[in-house]
Structure 1
Amino acid sequence: MTGNADTAAPARRAPRPRADALRNRERIVTAAREMFVEFGAQVPYDEIARRAGVGNATLYRNFPERDDLVREVVLSLMARVTELAERAAAEEEDTFEALRRFTLGAADERVGALCPMLDGAFDQDHPDLVAERDRLEEVVRGIVDRAQRAGRLRADVGVGDLMVAVSQLTRPLPGTACAAFAPFVRRHLQLFLDGLEAPARSELPGTAATLEDLRSDSCPS
């Protein structure tokens, strides 16, 4: 006799990861992010495991393919930057100060130094990445919109302009070590931010860059 829904055995849930397993995974991602910034995404797994303080087997068990690790590093970075943006928007009364705080915080996360990881065969359309990217873009768009509505941010710039500048101004010049370049990042970002404040001191060529422009094959005119 078959049992009905009331007497059926409950579905067995997958076991939750142990706390030490979660800590190991977090250490691996942190170590990988640091080493990708310093040496690029092809740094040997052995070196990542050593810096994370875990065995090679633990690293491979969590991230059997390098693309898995790269994706997790990018997800971790995007989540951290989104949290920075959310805190800046919530805690700063001055809308331009919220934008400034987000921009400098994103620079401290070394976002530009990690951009080369996204070149080549990296899957930028993975569902997890798309979801985290949409979350980040929504928060940053809100910061930009509020600053423009308050008259604190010049009206002829877009979210894409901000993201391009953060990416490019935090990326070391070719042949320049990250450590040597780092002291100049905040200085150059401050020059950029001064140029964003309203009233505008000049007329910009072309049109404001949107996030859609950055993902298209053609550049905005």
Structure 2
Amino acid sequence: MDTATAPTRRAARPRADALRNRERIVAAAREMFVEYGPDVPLDEVARRAGVGNATVYRHFADRDELVRHVVRYVTGRVADLAEQGIATADADKDAAFTALRTFVHAAADERIGALCPMLQSGFDPDHPDLIDARERMERSIEGLVDRARAAGQLRTDIALGDLMIALSQLGRPLPGTPCPNMDRFVHRHLQLFLDGLMAPARSELPGEAATLEDLRQR
């Protein structure tokens, strides 16, 4: 056959079983990073995922690549939740703060705070694999916060960074800590925090509102 007239071959799509294995590996890694931190042996991740070691390395060249995919997975799910909240707030402006409250509790269940130990020295938060996911997450959460503020239901002296700090601090215990029963108090204390965000404010906050730029400073 003349190569000039040969049909263009499409790139082979991953098989369904390969995609399922990849999803299981990322889900297992997320669970174990939450429980033990990002230095957990990859052999243990493979065992939790129910696949062989070779399967892990077939999908992810090294630990850094797996960590990046876990971070992207979690940020994507949190962005989905924030966008659902925006849709709720747009449909009913009186429900803007309720949508924000629902989002915060759901985001805590995604263990977004467990990403913090991963974002240490040696990890590149500006890797091309992560930029779009991070920007989408930040944009969607900020949109939800803006709607609650515009509805007059959110105090005016806080910024997105304040919300992210609370999620990161209250939405985990630290991996490997001997406090397994702390999880049952997370939503209780998140509710206390959220009550403090409601307008009208009952006190004057010390210092300045925390922005995303503040959180990115090293």
| Alpha-carbon distance change, 75 to 160 in structure 1, aligned in 2, over 3 angstroms | same
Q: Which residue pairs with 1:21 in the alignment?
A: 18
For the residues of structure 1 that align with 2:175 and 2:50, how far apart are their CA atoms?
A: 31
Q: CA deviation digits over 1:6-27, x for unaligned, max 9?
A: x643433220101110000000
Q: CA deviation digits over 1:41-75, x for unaligned, max 9?
A: 11111111111111111111001210000000000
Q: What SS does the corresponding residue of 2:155 show, helix, strand or coil? A: coil
Q: Does 2:148 correspond to 1:147?
A: yes
Contiguous gaps of at least 5 residues in structure 1: none
| Alpha-carbon distance change, 109 to 174 in structure 1, aligned in 2, over 3 angstroms | closer
Q: Which residue pairs with 1:51 in the alignment?
A: 48
Q: Which residue pairs with 2:104 in the alignment?
A: 103
> Counterparts of 1:96-135 in structure 2 under 5 Å?
96-135=97-136
Please tell me whether the aligned partners of residues 32 and 48 of structure 1 are also in contact (alpha carbons under 8 angstroms). yes
Larger relative contact order (C-alpha < 8 A, sep ≥ 6)? Answer: 2
Q: Which residue pairs with 2:172 in the alignment?
A: 171
Regions of 4+ moved over 6 Å:
none
Report sequence identity in percent: 65
Q: Which amino acid aligns with 1:209?
A: A
Q: Does 2:76 correspond to 1:75?
A: no
Please tell me whether the aligned partners of residues 148 and 155 of structure 1 are also in contact (alpha carbons under 8 angstroms). yes
Q: Which residue pairs with 1:11 in the alignment?
A: 8
TM-score normalised according to structure 2 size? 0.91
Q: Which amino acid aligns with 1:9?
A: A
For the residues of structure 2 that align with 1:174 and 1:26, how far apart are their CA atoms?
A: 22
TM-score normalised according to structure 1 size? 0.90
Pairwise CA distance, 1:173: 5.4
Q: Which amino acid aligns with 2:11?
A: A
Please tell me whether the aligned partners of residues 38 and 178 of structure 1 are also in contact (alpha carbons under 8 angstroms). no
Q: Which residue pairs with 1:136 in the alignment?
A: 137
Q: Which residue pairs with 2:57 in the alignment?
A: 60
Q: CA deviation digits over 1:142-191, x for unaligned, max 9?
A: 11111111100000001111011111112325873463221111111111
Q: Does 2:208 correspond to 1:207?
A: yes
Count residues in correspondence. 213
For the residues of structure 1 that align with 2:175 and 2:35, how far apart are their CA atoms?
A: 13
| Alpha-carbon distance change, 178 to 107 in structure 1, aligned in 2, over 3 angstroms | farther
| Alpha-carbon distance change, 126 to 178 in structure 1, aligned in 2, over 3 angstroms | farther
Q: CA deviation digits over 1:97-137, x for unaligned, max 9?
A: 11101110111111212320111201111012111110011
